[in-house]
Amino acid sequence: MIVYGFINSLVLALIALGFSMTFGISRVANFAHGAFYVLGALLAWLFLMKVGLPYFVSVILAVVIVGIAGALMYKLLLARLRGLELSEVISTFAVGLIILELMRSLGVMGFQYRLPPFYRGSVEIMGTYVGIQRLIIVGAGIALLSALYFFVHYTRVGLAFRGVPQDDHTAYTVGINPDRISMFSMTLGSMICALAAILIVPLGTISVDSGYEILLKALAVCIIGGLESTLGVVVASFILGYAEVMTAMYISSSFTMVVPLLCMLVILLIRPSGLFGKHKELEERI
């Protein structure tokens, strides 16, 4: 159980990472996150199964294309709507719906839409058998998290990343174009999202409905952990991950989706800024 909880937590962290990152840098809540997730998986599947490219190449292609999609969405839509929160929310939500429902109406459903795992087989850890794919997720998750941490904290671009959300205009005056940084963050966020999809999807099938579920999970994790805090994402996904596994074990697996809701409502009532959020405005009691 400990092992499965750990894996589940990392899956959640991977899902939420892209969302939290985009939000933390550009203040765009990407409601198309779930759509990008499914899109990433589907593209990888297309390249792998239909075009017949090698696994590695198709993964890279899929990730890059989703990244481009994210950049385009920023360039064509969001760049014109910056500052209008309402419009931002609605337009990303609408883009997500377009992608997902388009896939649904094209008939993306069923069992043939599944990615093969990187490696089959399983190993025994602490008395439970764990598929190698899950181990890869764990490894990749940890690697991605730490790579991102180093990128944001120890590179020049990372510094710009941390600077822009604090003040757009100041960023301009020191020669950073916040628009470009935001676009870059959007691209990176979508790429992480697609990568997460390709890692996680071999555990199940590609389905349109999972797009909504992914968005929900990402939102729940981010709200509990505090939007834009990477540490918050990790901690919240561990809380949720273990909580889900425990409910599935002791109560019933159909209750697993209920747990995030309850966690979220409790957190909102106690600390509206989330566990690690640094929102002064939210700390105000209105």
Partner 1 sequence: MKEKRRKERIDRGIKACTDDIYCISSLREIAYLILPRALPVLATVLVLLLVPMYWKKVMVITFIMAIMAISWDFMASCGLVSLGQALFFAMGAYASGGLNHYLGWPVYLSLPIGTLLGGLVSTIMIFPALRLRGMYFSMVTLIIPLMIMRIIEATKILGGTEGMSGLTPLPGLAFSAVLSLIAVWIVLFVLRRLVVSDYGMIFMALQDNDRAVEASGLNTLWFKVQAIFIGSAMCAFCGAFMTHIHMSVGMSAFALDLSIFPIASCVVGGIGTLAGPMLGAVVLGPLSEALRSIGTFRIVIYSAILVIFIVGIPEGIFPYLKRKYEQTERWV
Partner 2 sequence: MSANEYLRVENLGKNFGGITAVNQVSFSVDPGGLLGVIGPNGCGKTTLANLITGFIKPTSGKVYYKGKDITGLRPSRIANLGVGRTFQMVKPFYRLPAYKNLVIPLSSPKVRRMGGHLGDKDSTALDILEDIGFERDSSIPFQPARNLPHGYLKRLEMGRILALQSDLIIFDELYSGLSLAEVAGITPLIKKLVAAGRTIIMIEHRLKELFRIANKIIVMDQGTIIAEGSSREIMKDEMVQKAYLGVELKK
Of 153 and 278, the one with the shorter C-beta distance to partner 2 is: 278
Given the complex with partner 2, which of 156 and 280 has the nearer CB atom?
280
Q: Give the three-state DSSP class for 124.
A: strand
Question: Considering the rule CB under 8 A, would residue 283 count as an interface residue with partner 2?
Answer: yes
Q: How many angstroms separate the Cα of 189 from the Cα of each of 34, 64, 168?
A: 12, 11, 20
Which residues have CB under 8 Å from 247's CB, separation 6+?
Answer: 253, 255, 256, 258, 259
Residue with Cβ nearer partner 2 (174 or 286): 286
Taking CB under 8 A as the rule, does residue 254 contact partner 1? yes
162 binds partner 2 (CB under 8 A): no
Four-residue CA torsion sign, 216, 18, 208, 69: positive
**Which of partner 1, partner 2, none sits in contact with 268, Cβ below 5 to 8 A by type?**
partner 1
Among 50, 156, 169, 285, binds partner 2 (CB under 8 A): 285
**Is the C-alpha dihedral spanning 170, 76, 108, 50 positive or negative?**
negative
173 with 33: CB under 8 angstroms?
Answer: no
Of the chain, the end-to-end C-alpha distance in Å amounts to: 41
**Segment contacting partner 1 by CB under 8 A, of 102-110, 153-161, 168-176, 190-198:** 102-110
Strands (E), the chain: 122-125, 128-131
Q: Of these partners, partner 2, partner 1, none, which one is at the site of residue 119 (CB under 5 to 8 Å by kind)?
A: none
> Which part of the chain contacts partner 2 (CB under 8 A), choosing from 66-74, 139-147, 247-255, 278-286?
278-286
Per rule CB under 8 A, is residue 284 in the interface with partner 2? yes
Closest listed residue to residue 226, CA positions, set 167, 196, 270, 184: 270
| Residues forming beta bridges with residue 123, ordered by sequence position | 130
Please give the residue ranges that form the binding site for partner 1 (CB under 8 A).
29, 31, 76-77, 80-81, 84-91, 93-95, 97-98, 101-102, 104-105, 212, 215-216, 219-220, 222-223, 227, 252, 254-255, 257-258, 260-261, 264-265, 268-269, 272, 281-282, 284-286
